[in-house]
Copies of this chain bind each other. A is one copy, B any other.
Amino acid sequence: MAVNLPLPIPEKLTAVAGIELGHAEAGIRKADRKDLLVMKLAPTATVTGVFTKNRFCAAPVQLCKEHLTKRSDKAPIRALVVNTGNANAGTGESGLANAQQTCEALARLLDCAPEQILPFSTGVILEPLPIDRLVAGLPQAIGNLKSDNWHNAALSIMTTDTQPKAASRQVTINGKTVTLTGISKGAGMIKPNMATMLGFLAMDAKVAQPVLDKLVRDVADRSFNCITIDGDTSTNDSFIVMATGTAGVDVTADNTPEYAALYDAVLGLSQELAQMIVRDGEGATKFMTVTVEEGRDAEECRKIAYSIAHSPLVKTAFYASDPNLGRILAAIGYAGVDDLDVTQLNLYLDDVWVAKNGGRHPDYQEADGQRVMKQSEITIRVKLGRGSAASTIWTCDLSHDYVSINADYRS
């Protein structure tokens, strides 16, 4: 059901020097399924991340934040470990102990301290993590460690995703090639509020820690934080950027041309990975770009864009290719922008001018709306006529399959 999402071809995923990936079938929830991933980093690497703002943030997320705070040049992050099948969220004290035990087990195998490990989990909430099976699977993952293993890595972090999500790109900075490769997974409980569960991006540039910290926040706000499938912010959202420092390109400050070039590359790849999550949203049949322009500030544009993107009535109309576009006006109207003057508002569906000054455009023909609605990729454009700010959100429709998938997820 994924919308215009090509399968990643293993040969086209470029290895990033300084990071090795190893997968395992640990039987976390189901047998015979890649469900455990270890990413091992060179000692030169800097790592940073942004995490869910859900108050029920998962035990591994709590530990990740703590370990990133404790890191230093002398004790850098050396590895990441990811399990699917269980979110280790809503699990209280024993959940924290299990996440801690995961780090300790991997640290022993890699000969480092537990604080040098970042743990991640995704899957069902409120169920105890099967820590014994997870720990037992680690040696297999370590045995598989190699640089050229991104495709298996993408497969290992999937839950209800129908396809692995991965992409690579390269950028030339100061005459040298920097390679970036990333993976992500969705596919429900997706309305990231910092970042999505899960996105990992590695590159071989050398990036100073404070610069990397700024980079990840700026990029997340324009990529993973701009997507929504069902408005449910996960307990486990994490977006991690790793710079292994092996390419001979050194980014020391955020006001340099090197930073600008790297930023564009990281943002481009992150948007691609984020959009992949929407394209493979649970039950998705349409990919929708919601752009709100001419607002007073980005925040009110974002409010309105989310209001449209979360409306079940708008989403089902797009699923049906039914130009019942009054539903978009209703969603704009209840978005919470209390002084919005709807008589200044214009609405477009791709190139079709639907509403003018808050009412139906006199020349609007339903056949024109219908033509656009039948496409698999559609842009909803709203012009508020009260300023120059803008925001864009990417989302998908709401189909029978979304209900089926989420009514059956655990069975």
Contact = CB atoms under 8 A, between A and B. Distances in A.
Interface of A: 53-57, 87, 89-95, 124-128, 188-189, 191, 193, 230-235, 310-313, 316-317, 319-320, 322, 324-327, 329-335, 337-338, 340, 342-343, 354-355, 357-360, 398-400, 402-404, 406-411
A372 B406 CA distance: 19
Given A312-B402, A322-B411, A330 B94 contact: no
Nearest to A314: B232
A230 to B, nearest CB: 4
B334 A53 contact: yes
B403 A313 contact: no
Contact of A333 (B235, B317, B329, B330): B235
Contact of A329 (B90, B340, B411): B90
A128 B360 contact: yes
A331 B411 CA distance: 21
A359 B95 contact: yes
A407 B286 CA distance: 14
Contacts of A310: 231
A124 B403 CA distance: 25
Contacts of A322: 407-411
Given A232-B331, A322-B411, 13 more contacts: A55-B334, A55-B335, A55-B338, A55-B340, A91-B360, A93-B359, A95-B359, A125-B327, A126-B355, A189-B330, A230-B312, A312-B312, A320-B408
Given A312-B406, A324-B409, A398-B403, A56 B92 contact: no
B233 A56 contact: no
B360 A92 contact: yes
A313 B186 CA distance: 14
B126 A54 contact: no
Contacts of A126: 324-326, 329, 354-355, 360
A403 B343 CA distance: 31
A232 B360 contact: no
Nearest to A410: B324
Contact of A355 (B90, B357, B407): B90
Given A230-B312, A233-B334, A311-B231, A89 B54 contact: no
Most B CB contacts (10 A, CB to CB) among A320, A333, A357 go to A333
